[in-house]
């Protein structure tokens, strides 16, 4: 039984960076206003801006198939063609759907996001396909052989896990990494159909390249994974994520006057309440970690002792430790 649990944890780990956030509940479309929609349930949130000069898309889903679904959903919403795609950051649950996007539609991202795709995702991907999955299948095979006739219920569960993993591997392999056609350092302004779309890099936060998007005329902020609403966040310190700067950015943005904020994960929040909630969460976690460090706790002790009890209602409690680890490293 213990081994089985270990194997399941491993499946989560070797799926890589963004893969952990894979959502499998299928697409549902939320209307933010007449020209702005959010597609949820295909990995990270996907934003669709419809204008008289075409469609601007922000992020593209977790697999090639997700990308195809996004194209179908856009066709349901409008006859306008897809004109430009903004990629908030490199994580697979936002970027892999790009492999289904037409080659003549330009993809824009920060320079760091382009570098991360090359230096982190491409390397990680090779490892997942060539080492991670084969190792997992071999271990599961051994586990099944050992338990056949001993614990049939566990064997059935393990077999179902293997089948699901095979499907995930196929979806994973169907993706060809798409690199941005255009990159920027700090800010890029796109004008389309009367809208001014500011794509800007506020400094390292969720990753070292996560950009955010402001649609000026609508007063809307799209955060990428610099905001998780209603759930524990993932702060990717391996990719240069910075908890202290994340807190600063979220606080600053929460003091502005947005009509709605579209997070990277979780529901769209009207006004800035979602940002303010998240800033309070981060501030609370920062304080807890600072106290633990003052008491001389190691990183692992801090993760064990800091329960963030006040936020036990948030979804994805398995991500709690990411916040603690990120503040521990940043303080
Ligand atoms: Zn992410």
**How far is ligand 1, taken at its centre, from the CA of residue 31, in Å?**
23
Residue 60 has pLDDT above 60, yes or no: yes
Provide the total of helices (H) and of strands (E) in the chain, helices listed first: 11, 13
Phi and psi at 281, nearest 5°, equal -60, -50
Are 298 and 266 in contact, with CB atoms under 8 Å apart? Answer: no
- State the pairing for strand pair 220-222/269-270: unpaired
**How far is ligand 1, taken at its centre, from the CA of residue 18, in Å?**
6
**How far is ligand 1, taken at its centre, from the CA of residue 307, in Å?**
23
Average pLDDT estimate for 258-283: 97
Q: What pLDDT, on a 0 to 100 scale, did the predictor assign at position 3? A: 46
Q: What band does 74 get if pLDDT is binned at 50, 70 and 90?
A: very high
Q: What is the mean pLDDT of the chain?
A: 92
Residue 208 has pLDDT above 90, yes or no: yes
Residue 16 or 291, more confident = 291
Q: How far is CA 296 from the centre of its chain?
A: 33
pLDDT digits (tens, 9 = 90+) for 79-121: 999 999 999 999 999 999 999 999 999 999 999 999 999 999 9
**How far is ligand 1, taken at its centre, from the CA of residue 267, in Å?**
16
Q: Where are the beta strands (DSSP E) in the chain?
A: 28-33, 36-40, 46-51, 54-58, 82-86, 107-110, 182-184, 187-192, 195-200, 212-215, 220-222, 260-262, 269-270
**How far is ligand 1, taken at its centre, from the CA of residue 141, in Å?**
32
Q: In terms of Cα–Cα distance, which of 119, 120, 92, 104 is closest to 15?
A: 92
Average pLDDT estimate for 157-185: 95
**How far is ligand 1, taken at its centre, from the CA of residue 265, in Å?**
9
Residue 43 has pLDDT above 60, yes or no: yes
pLDDT digits (tens, 9 = 90+) for 14-34: 444 444 444 456 799 999 999
Q: What band does 169 get if pLDDT is binned at 50, 70 and 90?
A: very high
**How far is ligand 1, taken at its centre, from the CA of residue 200, in Å?**
16
Q: What pLDDT, on a 0 to 100 scale, did the predictor assign at position 26? A: 73
Q: Please count the other Cβ atoms lying within 10 Å of the Cβ belonging to residue 70.
A: 25
**How far is ligand 1, taken at its centre, from the CA of residue 234, in Å?**
7
Residue 221 has pLDDT above 80, yes or no: yes
* Exposure b/e, 15-24, CB count within 10 A at least 16 = b: bbbbbbbbbe
Measured CA to CA, the distance from residue 314 to residue 331 in angstroms comes to 24
Measured CA to CA, the distance from residue 226 to residue 229 in angstroms comes to 10
Q: Which residues fall inside 5 Å of ion ligand 1, going by CB?
A: 91, 225
**How far is ligand 1, taken at its centre, from the CA of residue 6, in Å?**
24
Cβ-proximal residues to 45 (8 Å cutoff; 6+ apart), any chain: 38, 39, 59, 262, 263, 264, 265, 266, 268
**How far is ligand 1, taken at its centre, from the CA of residue 27, in Å?**
18
Q: What pLDDT, on a 0 to 100 scale, did the predictor assign at position 25? A: 64
Residue 11 has pLDDT above 70, yes or no: no
**How far is ligand 1, taken at its centre, from the CA of residue 40, in Å?**
15
**How far is ligand 1, taken at its centre, from the CA of residue 182, in Å?**
20
Cα separation values, 251 from 30, 200, 202, 210, 260, Å? 26, 17, 12, 16, 16
**How far is ligand 1, taken at its centre, from the CA of residue 112, in Å?**
14
Measured CA to CA, the distance from residue 76 to residue 308 in angstroms comes to 42
**How far is ligand 1, taken at its centre, from the CA of residue 91, in Å?**
5
**How far is ligand 1, taken at its centre, from the CA of residue 264, in Å?**
7
């Amino acid at each position: 039984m213990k081994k089985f649990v270990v194997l399941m944890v491993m499946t989560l780990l070797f799926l890589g960076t963004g893969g952990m956030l894979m959502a499998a509940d299928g697409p549902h479309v939320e209307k933010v206003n007449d020209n702005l929609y959010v597609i949820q349930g295909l990995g990270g949130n996907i934003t669709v801006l419809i204008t008289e000069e075409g469609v601007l898309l922000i992020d593209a889903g977790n697999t090639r198939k997700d990308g195809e679904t996004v194209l179908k959903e856009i066709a349901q919403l409008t006859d306008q063609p897809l004109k430009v795609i903004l990629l908030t950051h490199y994580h697979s649950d936002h970027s892999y759907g790009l492999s289904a996007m037409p080659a003549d539609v330009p993809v824009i991202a920060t320079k760091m996001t382009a570098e991360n795709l090359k230096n982190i995702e491409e390397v990680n991907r090779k490892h997942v396909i060539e080492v991670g999955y084969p190792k997992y299948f071999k271990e599961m095979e051994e586990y099944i052989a050992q338990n056949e006739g001993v614990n049939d219920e566990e064997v059935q569960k393990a077999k179902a896990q293997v089948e699901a993993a095979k499907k995930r591997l196929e979806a994973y392999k169907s993706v060809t990494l798409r690199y941005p056609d255009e990159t920027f350092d700090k800010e890029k302004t796109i004008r389309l159909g009367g809208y001014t779309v500011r794509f800007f890099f506020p400094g390292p936060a969720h990753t070292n390249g996560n950009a955010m998007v402001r649609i000026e005329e609508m007063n809307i902020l799209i955060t990428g994974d610099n905001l998780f609403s209603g759930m524990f966040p993932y702060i990717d310190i391996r990719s240069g994520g910075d908890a202290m700067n994340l807190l600063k950015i979220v606080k600053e943005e929460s003091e502005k006057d947005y009509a709605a904020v579209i997070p990277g994960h979780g529901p769209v929040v009207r006004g800035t309440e979602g940002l303010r909630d998240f800033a309070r969460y981060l501030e609370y976690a920062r304080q807890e970690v600072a106290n633990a460090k003052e008491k001389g706790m190691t990183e692992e002790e801090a993760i064990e002792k800091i329960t963030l009890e006040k936020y036990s209602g948030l979804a994805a409690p398995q991500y709690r430790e990411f916040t603690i680890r990120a503040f521990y490293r940043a303080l």
